[in-house]
Chains A and B, each alone.
Chain A
């Protein structure tokens, strides 16, 4: 636990699983979203959480980071039961994009700096500016620290949220569709950053719609369907070589069935974030 994240042996001497969920049930209102999910993520693993929209992927990760209370089952994170004893400073969470801009403007640097606060740490630590700058550098936004987040494009806003999770140098990174609506070069840059961090011992649990650029990195895939785990093992091959290298992934530019599927339950269609950011 105290071993530095940069030590490569962190993955081999794993003391306790990074994530351990047993029989997790979650109810949201009247709907029974998760129906007995078991999930273990060992240290150093990169686990992709796959499944159709509405299969419970987001609900599961939001439960794991203590945003939603499980109605049954147990969850432990980095060897501690879910709650205030979890070393939250070692956990980075990237939620799905906050679509509605807040009314008071905030800069990318300010948003990233808020990632330095966790647990009982309510004030920014010494040297926070340099750390924020480094984190923005990791996602390729080094020169945008002073820009209002509302002036950034959708993909850039997503990268700001990734920087906010990385700034605390987590041991476990939980990402909810981090590359949705992000263009290919940015996805490649993101995958390269992740490769380096994983090489340094980072454990990753990532909700994905398709493996895409992260495919070489993913060690295991867990597929959810109707709130249950239906596959836990090698990353499955999607039909039609959807994520194959060289596959030209082009979405129809009108809100057709393909585009709808992409973010059905999450508001804006794929085309929307980029356009709204320029207005």
Chain B
């Protein structure tokens, strides 16, 4: 009973309402984009964008300060959006030019993003501590304007991420085949990069730039443990994302802990639990010989039915009967 009363208080709090709505939207969207990033082996892209977004925050702050705006950080979020989009587009261009330099470019983004952020915030008359809210999240201070921006950006993310799922899957799964199909591969890759950048800036409020990537990647890691289809991995990841965001945020209503860190720790705990319980969770395959019963062209002395496995001792058989 006390629990329900407490839940009622929490849900009645307008501050908490806004925070929960933001967490809900981010919890759904981040894993959708994360699924594409994991599939194209760019799991760390979110981190790279996050670091660059920090420079954007500081740049927005600097511009706001020089323009003499009432609140110095009014342009921080727009700055982050611009810097993140530019940064991720840049990564995509580098990835296209030459594959080998891709992770090097990502590394340079990491360092440049943080250094640029700290440098610019100093020039803007602030201190590194001003950046803390962006680095670690500040969901409890979500305003109605912030919420509106979150709703719009999440709508864009979901529209692209779900509406173009088949095309984005094709490009992420086999870029060569997508090119040979005449698909606009460049535009689709750019769409993923831009949507990833938007996700980072939206999730920045909830978990902070340093932990943004976790919200995009960890739910996907959980999803792929329990399914073997792309679509279901994405669905499971989104469900997990929403759950950990809402539960983690609710916990901070009663316990004075960082919402971002709580959400991420919760997600990793779920991952560990699922990984341990996986043998019990995965769909049981029907018992029996998984090999199709088709003739091979290997001459074997005796092959009584039912004892075929006995003849398949060496790896060398694979050439003749891969099934």
**Pair from one complex:** yes
Residue numbers of A with Cβ under 8 A of B are 62, 65-67, 84, 86, 88, 91, 93, 95, 98, 102-107, 110-111, 113-120, 122-124, 146-148, 150-151, 153-156, 164, 174, 181-186, 248, 250-251, 253-254, 270-275, 277
Q: In the complex, what distance in Å separates the CA atom of A111 from the CA atom of B163?
A: 17
Give the docked Cα–Cα distance between A119 and B188 (Å). Answer: 12
Across-interface contacts of B95 in A (CB, < 8 A): none
Q: How far is the CA of A111 from the CA of B176 in the complex (A)?
A: 13
Q: Which of A88, A104, A110, A118 contacts B35 (CB 8 A)?
A: A104
The yes or no answer to B148 lying at the interface (CB within 8 A) is no
B130 to chain A, nearest CB (A): 37
With A103-B41, A147-B228, A271-B316 in contact, do A122 and B180 touch (Cβ < 8 Å)? no
Whether a CB of chain A sits under 8 angstroms from the CB of B252 is no
Measured between C-beta atoms, what is the minimum distance from B313 to chain A in Å? 11
The residue from B180, B294, B323 contacting A66, defined by CB atoms under 8 A apart? B180
Q: Are A111 and B224 in contact, CB atoms less than 8 angstroms apart?
A: no
Question: What residues of A have a CB within 8 angstroms of the CB of B41 in the complex?
Answer: 102-103
Residues of B within 8 A of A65 (CB): 179-180
A122 and B176: CB pair below 8 A?
no
Across the A-B interface, how many residue pairs have beta carbons closer than 8 Å? 155
Among A164, A185, A250, A277, contact of B177 (Cβ-Cβ < 8 Å): A164
| Nearest chain A residue, comparing its CB with the CB of B172 | A102
Q: Which residues of B contact A84 (CB under 8 A)?
A: 182
A270 close to B319 (CB less than 8 A): yes
Among residues of A, the one whose C-beta sits closest to the C-beta of B227 is A105
Contact assessment for A185 and B318 in the assembled complex, using a CB-CB cutoff below 8 Å: no
Q: Which 10 A-B pairs have the closest CB atoms?
A: A253-B316, A274-B318, A88-B182, A274-B322, A148-B228, A65-B180, A114-B170, A155-B322, A122-B167, A93-B180
| Of B230, B315, B319, the contact of A251 (CB 8 Å cutoff) | B319
A143 nearest CB across to chain B (Å) = 9
Nearest CB in chain B to that of A174: its residue: B180
* Contact A271–B295 (Cβ < 8 Å): no
**A146–B229 touching, CB < 8 Å:** yes
The yes or no answer to B106 lying at the interface (CB within 8 A) is no
Given contacts A95-B180, A146-B229, A103 and B224 within 8 Å (CB-CB):
yes
Known: A110-B229, A110-B231. A185 touches B294 (CB 8 A): yes
Within the complex, what minimum Cβ distance (angstroms) separates B261 from chain A?
26
Contact B322 A154 (CB under 8 A): yes
Decide yes or no: A110 and B322 within 8 Å by CB, A67-B176, A183-B296 being known contacts. Answer: no
Contacts of A119 on B, CB cut-off 8 Å? Answer: 181-183
Main SS class of interface, B: helix
Asked if B321 and A107 sit within 8 Å, CB to CB, the answer is no
Contact status A151-B228, CB under 8 Å: yes
With A and B bound together, what is the CA distance between A223 and B94 in angstroms?
A: 37
B39 is an interface residue with CB less than 8 A from chain A: yes
Decide: B180 and A113 in contact? CB cutoff 8 A. Answer: no
Q: How many residues of B contact A (CB 8 A)?
A: 45
A156 to B233 alpha-carbon distance, docked (Å) = 23
18 more contacts with CB within 8 A, not counting A110-B230, A114-B166, A114-B173, are A62-B176, A84-B182, A102-B173, A103-B38, A106-B169, A114-B174, A117-B183, A119-B182, A122-B183, A123-B163, A124-B166, A147-B228, A148-B229, A155-B322, A186-B323, A271-B315, A272-B318, A273-B322
Instruction: Name the distance in Å between B46's Cβ and chain A's nearest Cβ.
Output: 15
* A196 → chain B closest CB, angstroms: 20
- A104-B182 contact, Cβ under 8 Å, with A154-B322, A183-B320: no
Interface centre among A67, A104, A154, A274 (most CB of B within 10 A): A104
Docked complex Cα distance between A277 and B315 (Å): 12
B322 contacts A277, C-beta separation under 8 Å: yes
Of all chain A residues, which has the CB nearest B233?
A104
Shortest CB distance A262–B (Å): 9
Q: Which residues of A contact B323 (CB under 8 A)?
A: 153, 155-156, 183, 186, 274
User: Is the C-beta of B155 less than 8 angstroms from some C-beta in chain A?
Assistant: no
Q: How far, in angstroms, from A48 to B172 measured CA to CA in the complex?
A: 30
Q: How far is the CA of A251 from the CA of B321 in the complex (A)?
A: 12
Give the residues from 201 to 241 in chain B that come closer than 8 angstroms, CB to CB, to chain A. Answer: 220, 224, 227-231, 233
Interface residues of B in 158-196 (CB under 8 A from A): 163-164, 166-167, 169-170, 172-174, 176-184, 188
Q: Contacts of A67 on B, CB cut-off 8 Å? A: 176, 179-180
Contact of B164 (CB < 8 Å), options: A104, A122, A150, A156 = A122
Task: Please indicate which of the listed interface residues B177, B181, B224, B297 has the most CB atoms of chain A within 10 Å of its own CB.
Answer: B181
Complex-state Cα separation, A251 to B164, whole angstroms: 45
* CB <8 Å contact, A118 and B181: yes
**Contact call A111/B322, Cβ cutoff below 8 A:** no
Q: Is the beta-carbon distance between B297 and A104 smaller than 8 angstroms?
A: no
A104-B38 contact, Cβ under 8 Å, with A86-B182, A110-B169: yes
Closest partner residue, chain A, to B228 (CB atom): A148
List, in ascending order, chain B residues with CB within 8 A of A183's CB. Answer: 294, 296-297, 320-323
CB of B314 closer than 8 Å to a CB of A: yes
Q: Which residues from chain B contact A182 at a C-beta distance below 8 Å?
A: 322
Contact flag A185-B296 (CB < 8 Å), given A105-B229, A114-B166: yes
Residues of B within 8 A of A174 (CB): 180
Q: B174 touching A98 by the CB < 8 A rule?
A: yes
B177 with A104: CB separation less than 8 A: no
Smallest CB gap from A154: residue in B:
B322
